[in-house]
């Protein structure tokens, strides 16, 4: 279920449009499982995922005093492990389609974009565990400070070179808490590749856009699959590559 958290900044407009660009097989998986896949944070392709900025680490002595050195050593091991205990589902936040996102995720012409809203995403979640949802903040990892107060902060910050993603992300975390005074097992993996989180598709999916360069038979195939799963969802082809009128 969606749970608010001070670290995760929700958009001011809960009806802001969210887009998830994917290939056809991932769409079928979403429909068949009725679940979104949350990928383990270290499988997202960004080696800085879950890390603090260099400026933040450099500022630790002024913030933590004599404890800074211990935080830099034992803390670093914990945060490297925390990436394996965190799973994320990413969305592109923008009012209109993104030509760049189509190019990245559907270059072959056989991709789709699922469109929803912040309210649609958060209200669709059907799991018992807390799911946190918020905007990603883009910073300079050399010069910009990141807040220290909570271990979630590294997961809502990314390098500025990713700012074109304009990302909103949903996050779940499963830390293997120790028992009976034992130390936490930093080698334990609570997620292997990630986790599927159940959703109500009728709440989640408002529209499905088919990639601009897709042939008509592929558009028809997507519509057929939607009917097969007995969903009433508007499927339309992106008009980004329509011929201009002079």
Give the range of the structural domain holding residue 25, as residue numbers without chain letter: 17-237
In a domain, 86, yes or no: yes
* pLDDT in single tens digits along all 246 residues of the chain: 999 999 999 999 999 999 999 999 999 999 999 999 999 999 999 999 999 999 998 888 887 888 888 777 777 888 899 999 999 999 999 999 999 999 988 777 789 999 999 999 999 999 999 999 999 999 999 999 999 889 899 999 999 999 999 999 999 999 988 877 778 888 888 999 999 999 999 999 999 999 998 999 999 999 999 999 999 999 999 988 776 777
In a domain, 93, yes or no: yes
Please give the Cα distance from 197 to 35 (Å, whole number): 5
Please state the φ and ψ torsions of residue 13, each to the nearest 5 degrees. Answer: -100, 110
Query: E strand or H helix at 182, and its extent?
Result: none
* Res 46: pLDDT: 95
In a domain, 4, yes or no: no
- Helices in 21-141 by DSSP H: which ranges? 24-33, 54-58, 60-64, 68-70, 76-82, 99-105, 118-124
Please give the Cα distance from 59 to 245 (Å, whole number): 56
In a domain, 245, yes or no: no
In a domain, 75, yes or no: yes
- Say whether 108 sits in a helix, a strand or coil: coil
Number of domains in the chain: 1
In a domain, 2, yes or no: no
The pair of structure tokens assigned to 245 is 């009128």
Query: E strand or H helix at 50, and its extent?
Result: none
CB 76 within 8 A of CB 56: no
* Res 78: pLDDT: 87
* Res 77: pLDDT: 86
CB 151 within 8 A of CB 79: yes
The pair of structure tokens assigned to 2 is 């969606």
In a domain, 242, yes or no: no
The pair of structure tokens assigned to 63 is 């913030």
In a domain, 11, yes or no: no
């Amino acid at each position: 279920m969606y749970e608010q958290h001070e670290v995760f900044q929700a958009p001011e407009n809960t009806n802001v449009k969210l887009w998830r660009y994917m290939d056809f097989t991932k769409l079928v998986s979403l429909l068949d499982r009725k679940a979104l896949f949350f990928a383990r944070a270290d499988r997202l392709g960004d080696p800085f995922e879950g890390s603090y900025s260099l400026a933040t680490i450099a500022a630790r002595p002024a913030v933590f005093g004599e404890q800074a050195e211990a935080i830099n050593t034992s803390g670093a091991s914990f945060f490297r492990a925390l990436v394996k205990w965190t799973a994320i589902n990413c969305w592109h936040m923008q009012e209109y389609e993104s030509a760049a996102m189509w190019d990245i995720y559907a270059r072959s012409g056989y991709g789709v974009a699922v469109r929803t809203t912040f309210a649609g995403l958060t209200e669709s979640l059907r799991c018992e565990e807390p799911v946190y949802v918020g905007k990603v903040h883009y910073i300079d990892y050399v010069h910009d400070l990141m807040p220290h107060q909570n271990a979630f902060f590294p997961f809502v910050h990314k390098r500025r070179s990713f700012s074109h993603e304009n990302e909103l992300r949903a996050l779940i975390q499963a830390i293997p808490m120790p028992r009976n005074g034992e130390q936490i097992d930093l080698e334990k993996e609570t997620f292997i590749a990630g986790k599927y989180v159940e959703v109500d598709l009728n709440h989640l999916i408002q529209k499905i856009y088919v990639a601009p360069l897709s042939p008509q038979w592929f558009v028809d195939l997507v519509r057929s699959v939607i009917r097969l799963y007995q969903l009433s969802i508007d499927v339309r082809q992106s008009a980004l590559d329509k011929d201009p009128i002079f």
